[in-house]
A = this chain, B = another copy of it.
Amino acid sequence: MADRRTRPRTGLTREKVIDAALAYVDEHGLAALSNRKLGAALGVEGMTLYYYVPSKAALLDGMVERLLELSAGDLFAEPSGPWTQVVGEFAVELRRLLLDHPAMLTVLATRPAATPASLALLERGIAVLHADGVPLGDALDVLNSVVRWTIGHTLGEVGETPHHEGTEPGPEQFAALDREALPHLAQAFTTGEGLDSERCFRRTLRILLAGYAAELGRAREA
């Protein structure tokens, strides 16, 4: 009989597993993540991971949670300025974070949002708005809207580049099909009008924050 031997203990931790998973999806994409492969990356058999994480769903949740914890500092710099500026910078920072981890973006967008780390982030945001005299309900509307706008926009932005495995949309298909049925879009693709994602993001963000600020200011006068 081949003498089987268990590897000497590797000092694994739930945290180390989750961090390794984050690194793994950053490099290989979300679809490539499996227990056995992640185990191999950690020098361990696949089933070993179940000792630290009860299920794959829990692993994904843990990854979102960890990503938010690690980035909480970057997302909310110390509040200096009116809430519109603080929240605006938060959104810009959040978009950058999501663009840096596109695999996690789809997880974050798909899984329920009421986790400790995201609630803590939300609470910090409310505190910022509260300090400027924004009522609780309005603060939640602002923050929810900004977060969801940022997630929605970044999803679209990442989805433009067809790096999603599966069917390929054909990059030059545009120029061919458009011309007749889609004249406006065809023009946009040649002149490049309205195709700058970052510009669109910042523009709408500005409009959103200015609109809320105006509405809240009006409400306070009355």
Residues of A at the B interface (CB closer than 8 Å) are 54-58, 60-61, 106, 109-116, 119-120, 122-123, 126-127, 130, 135-141, 144-145, 147-153, 155-156, 159-162, 164-167, 169, 174, 177-178, 181-185, 187-188, 191, 193-195, 199-200, 203-204, 207-208, 210-212, 215
Residue with the highest number of chain B CB atoms closer than 10 Å, among A54, A106, A111: A111
B114 and A204 contact, CB distance less than 8 A: no
Q: How many copies does the complex hold?
A: 2
How far apart are the CA atoms of A194 and B142 in the complex, in Å?
A: 9
A145 CB, min distance to chain B CBs, angstroms: 4
Query: Which applies to chain A's interface (DSSP): helix, strand, loop or mixed?
Result: helix
Which of B127, B167, B200 sits near A55, CB closer than 8 Å?
B167
A155 and B166 form a contact (CB under 8 A): no
